[in-house]
Structure formats: structure tokens, C-alpha cells
């Protein structure tokens, strides 16, 4: 299936049962719910999906579940991340073999060094399959920063590199990448609370987090932002929706974003706050503060047209 990078693509969470096993039935329903709301793809196994805590076998089972749940409606684009290059290549090849449509390629977990080594890792994954790929740049989380000129170098050498998820939180990067490579790559924003600014700068897609709990609002916000960039749509409606959404979107930008987004899912009746270790569920003042933010948003939840 051809990958369309232009729209809202959830970095989907992974729901666990109380015995720490994966709730595959919920995962399938969650995939369908997100697609029904207008999302154009699904990204499992990312950091929000707690990919680092999943075994190889669990990762493959989740991908098969997503593929069975949504069929040919939208592409499944797994996050490819690992401690080792060999394991990342193995996962990428397995994803292609079972029918995934694309890949989101991350730098290796834990080990981060210079461009020569990080490029070699990404090169190996991109060469391992023929699937279209999106590079995930998140220097805050992974301590590897793919600079615009380095992204341009990868784009020149790999025809299957089609997109970049830019999560440096610096919207100037979008213009800098575009200045070097023109329209060669699709640029997507990966930081929820700068969505509107990133679209204004030229981002065409959103790898979203809070979409797991608020898919209809996420799709509406992205569409309004796109219209505003073209000088169309209702600016007042965009501002009202963004202002309502921002306290929630900021939950995506802190170290405990997984716990916070899963708590939001639980509070809207679409998931559980349970996480896998080393993460622990929120408690005490931290939990109370998060609940207050989510409850306030739910109290004033907008009615969408």
C-alpha cells in the first residue's frame, strides 16, 4: 500500500493487562477507532508505544494485529528502534515480510555518538527493505540530532527515504530542511504542542500523541491548521480549538508523556493508565495535577462541526 504522509498518524500506545501481557483485542479496537476518526496511518512500536519494553515476538504480534484490524484502509508504519543495528534490520525485514507499508526509522537506543556511526545505523536499516521510510529525529529523547544537511545527505543516497518526523521542537528546522532539499521529503511534526506553528512552517503531517485519547479533535485541528496555512478556513475556530487543546498537547512534551497520555485515554474511556516498568503509573500530587488538566479539558470539550 502506498504511504500517504499528509495527515494525522497516531504514534499508538500499547495497552497492557494487569498481568503485564498485551491486550491485543483492545489494540485492534483502538486501531480501528483511530482510523474511523480520520487518521491516515498507524505507527506502532514507537516510544509512546513503549517499544523499548516489548520483546521481538510481541512487536511482531502487535504488527500482525494492526494489519488484521485495519486491513487495507491505511498503512501500518512500525517504529524501528533497537539497541543494535542487527536487531533493527531484523525488525525492519520482518515488518516488510508480514505486510507493513512503511517504516519509521529511529537512531539506536542508548548509544549515541557521531554522524559517521549514526548514519551507518540508518543506512543499514534503509537498505534492508524496499519499504518507504520516515526518519525520526528526536535529539531530546535519543541524544542524536540529525541536522538538515545530514538529512539531505541521506535523502540523496536512499530513494526509499520519503519523510522526516522532526521532533527537535525547533520549527525553524522545517524551513532549513526544505531549503536544502525542496519537496524531496515530506516533513511531519512530532511534537504535539507546536503543531500549528509547524504546519505554518511547512509540515504536511503530524505523528501525534494525544490523538490516542482525542482523535476527532486532533484531525480537526490539523485540518484547520492546513487551511490556515493556505489562507482559508476559520481562523477563530482554529485559535479556539488550539487554545482548548494546548494544555493537553503539552502532556506530550515531558518525560512522563507515556503515563500522561495513557491516563488521558483511561479518563475518556478508551484505554488504561497501566504502563510497563521501568515506568510507573502516576500518583500523589503528580496524578492529581494531571487529572485536573484532563478534567478541565473534558469539562469544556468543544463540539466539532
Decide: helix, strand or coil at residue 135.
strand
Nearest to 77 by CA among 100, 58, 94: 100
**Could you say which of 15, 59, 165, 262 is catalytic?**
165
How far apart are the C-alpha atoms of 301 and 296, rounded to whole Å? 9
109 belongs to the catalytic site: no
165 belongs to the catalytic site: yes
Widest CA span of the chain, in angstroms?
Answer: 51
Nearest to 50 by CA among 262, 195, 247: 262
Q: Is the separation of the CB atoms in 245 and 209 below 8 Å?
A: no
| Phi, psi torsion values for 296, nearest 5 degrees | -65, -40
- For residue 39, the tally of other CB atoms under 10 A from its CB is 26
Q: Is the separation of the CB atoms in 285 and 293 below 8 Å?
A: no
| β-strand pairing of 161-166 with 103-105 | unpaired
Nearest to 46 by CA among 190, 154, 171: 190
| β-strand pairing of 186-189 with 161-166 | parallel
Nearest to 30 by CA among 68, 3, 58, 69: 69
Nearest to 105 by CA among 53, 144, 64: 144
**Could you say which of 24, 136, 142, 242 is catalytic?**
136
In sequence order, what DSSP letters do the residues of 245-298 get, joined into one string?
HHHHHGGGGSTTHHHHHHHHHHHTTSS-----TT-----HHHHHHHHHHHHHHH
Q: Which residues are catalytic?
A: 136, 165
Amino acid at each position: 500500500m502506498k504511504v500517504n504522509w499528509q495527515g494525522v498518524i497516531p504514534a499508538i500506545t500499547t495497552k497492557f493487562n494487569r498481568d503485564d501481557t498485551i491486550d491485543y483485542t483492545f489494540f485492534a479496537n483502538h486501531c480501528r477507532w483511530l482510523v474511523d476518526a480520520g487518521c491516515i496511518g498507524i505507527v506502532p512500536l514507537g516510544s509512546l508505544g513503549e517499544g523499548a519494553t516489548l520483546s521481538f515476538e510481541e512487536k511482531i504480534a502487535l504488527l500482525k494485529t494492526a494489519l488484521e484490524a485495519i486491513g487495507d484502509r491505511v498503512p501500518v508504519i512500525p517504529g524501528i528502534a533497537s539497541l543494535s543495528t542487527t536487531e533493527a534490520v531484523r525488525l525492519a525485514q520482518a515488518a516488510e515480510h508480514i505486510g507493513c507499508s512503511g517504516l519509521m526509522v529511529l537512531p539506536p537506543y542508548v548509544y549515541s555518538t557521531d554522524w559517521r556511526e549514526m548514519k551507518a545505523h540508518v543506512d543499514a536499516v534503509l537498505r534492508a527493505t524496499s519499504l518507504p521510510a520516515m526518519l525520526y529525529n528526536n535529539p531530546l529523547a535519543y541524544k542524536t540530532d540529525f541536522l538538515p544537511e545530514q538529512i539531505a545527505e541521506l535523502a540523496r543516497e536512499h530513494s526509499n527515504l520519503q519523510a522526516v518526523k522532526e521532533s527537535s521542537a525547533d520549527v525553524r528546522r522545517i524551513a532549513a530542511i526544505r531549503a536544502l532539499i525542496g519537496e524531496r521529503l515530506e516533513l511531519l511534526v512530532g511534537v504535539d504542542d507546536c503543531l500549528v506553528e509547524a504546519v505554518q512552517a511547512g509540515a504536511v503531517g503530524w505523528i501525534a500523541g494525544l490523538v490516542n485519547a482525542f482523535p476527532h479533535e486532533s484531525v480537526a485541528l490539523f485540518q484547520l491548521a492546513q487551511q490556515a496555512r493556505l489562507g482559508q478556513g476559520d481562523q477563530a475556530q482554529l485559535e479556539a480549538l488550539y487554545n482548548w487543546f494546548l494544555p493537553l498537547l503539552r502532556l506530550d512534551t515531558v518525560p512522563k508523556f507515556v503515563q500522561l497520555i495513557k491516563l488521558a485515554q483511561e479518563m475518556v474511556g478508551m484505554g488504561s493508565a497501566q504502563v510497563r516498568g521501568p515506568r510507573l503509573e502516576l500518583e500523589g500530587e503528580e496524578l492529581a495535577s494531571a487529572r485536573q488538566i484532563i478534567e478541565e479539558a473534558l469539562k469544556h470539550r468543544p463540539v466539532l462541526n
